[in-house]
Amino acid sequence: MILFRSLLFHVWFLIVSVVMFLGAIPLFLGPRIAVIRAAQIWAHLQLWGLRVFCGQTYEVRGREHIPNGAALVASKHYSMWETIAFMVLVDDPAIVLKRELLNVPFYGWYGRKMGMIPIDRSGKASALRALKHASDQAVADRRQIVIFPEGTRRKVGAAPDYKPGVAGLYSGLNVPCVPVAHTSGLFWQGGWKRHPGTILIEFLPHIPARLKRAEFMRELETRIETGTNNLLRAAQSI
């Protein structure tokens, strides 16, 4: 039954994506925020599909910590679910993503128009300057920069692996960082299966700007990992 319901969701995901990608093309002639709002409609529809077809819902905790203006939002990364959810959980997200994704037809076109922030892991000076410029522009526009500090998706229970790139971004922005913990890895797993249940996601108290790098990294990892472990235990008791 789970596999069948998951298949229905994937069909829904594809249909909604094609319709929205094609239908929103005229918005490229307008302002960036128009495409952001269209993407948020797409995300709402996908989360609706998860609820209806897969019995998968979500509960947001710590709403008082969701930033309204410029901030760095650093989240645990288990699955694609959180990349969808952040489109609706914050007002104007600028998601940090691999540069190669912007070369994907449709996805990349929309990503560029929405002002998503590409990261080049080569470490070249030109790549770092481009990242700094894009991030500074997002802060100037009072957007929420969303980053996954481990760089790639992790399995539930895997040892944390926080990359130093998040500290470099934090140091150059002079904005608070909001850590985010969640349990999507219990329900959105690799492959086709989407399991029923309630994903818990919690926005934790912000880390102030201007901490030293080592202190920031310790604080960020401690808050996210502690918060995630607490949510995982809570999810198992629901």
Q: What is the pLDDT of residues 89-111, one digit of tens each?
A: 999 999 999 888 888 888 888 99
The neighbour count for residue 145, using CB atoms within 10 Å, is 26
Give me the mean pLDDT over the 64-84 stretch.
Answer: 96
What pLDDT sits at residue 108?
A: 87
Report helix, strand or coil for 146.
strand
pLDDT score at 123: 60
Reduced to 3 states (helix: H, G, I; strand: E, B; else coil), residue 217 is helix
Which residues have a Cβ under 8 Å from the Cβ of 209 and sit 6 or more positions away? 170, 173, 174, 175, 176, 177
Question: Side chain identity at 54, as an amino acid letter?
Answer: C
Reply yes or no on whether the pLDDT at 65 is more than 90: yes
In 3D space, the residue among 168, 186, 190 whose CA is nearest the CA of residue 177 turns out to be 168
In the predicted model, is pLDDT for residue 190 greater than 90?
A: no
Helix (H, G, I), strand (E, B) or coil at 216: helix
**Residues 76/200, Cβ–Cβ less than 8 Å:** no
pLDDT at 37 over 70: yes
Answer whether residue 236 shows pLDDT above 90: no
**Per-chain mean pLDDT for the chain:** 93
Given a cut of 70, whether residue 122 has pLDDT beyond it is: no
Q: Contact at 8 Å (CB) between 131 and 172?
A: no
> Residue 238: its pLDDT value, please?
66
Query: Is the pLDDT reported for residue 129 higher than 80?
Result: no
Q: What percent of the chain has pLDDT over 90?
A: 80
Answer yes or no: CATH 3.40.1130.10 is held by domain 57-237: yes
pTM passes above 0.85: yes
pLDDT at 159 over 90: yes
pLDDT at 125 over 80: no
Q: In 24-160, which ranges are continuous DSSP H helix? A: 32-54, 81-89, 107-113, 125-140
